[in-house]
Amino acid sequence: MTNRWENIKEYFISVYNELKKVHWPDRRQLTGYTGVVLVSVFIVGLIIWLFDSGLSWAMTKLFEAVGV
């Protein structure tokens, strides 16, 4: 039982030591990265909407031509 608690303790100590090595972005970098993500999400959403609208229009025309 003691070995289990020692392993858990060592795990969290190693996690803490690894987190100290991480380069955390400052506010300016974080704002820039957030802007890039938001713009990218908007562009991808717009592309998906355009494809969806185009396919919807095409399927409507196909069903009208077939008479369904």
The one-character DSSP state at 6 is: H
pLDDT tens for the 68 residues of the chain, in order: 678 999 999 999 999 999 999 999 999 999 999 999 999 999 999 999 999 999 999 999 999 999 87
Domain boundaries, the chain: 25-68
- Please tell me whether the overall predicted TM-score, pTM, comes out greater than 0.75 for this model: no
The three-point CA angle 15-17-19 to 5° equals: 70
Residue 67's region, left for phi above 0, alpha for psi from -120 to 50, else beta, is left
The one-character DSSP state at 67 is: T
Spatial separation of the C-alpha atoms in residues 17 and 58, rounded to whole Å:
57
Cβ atoms of residues 68 and 60 within 8 Å: no
pLDDT at residue number 67: 84
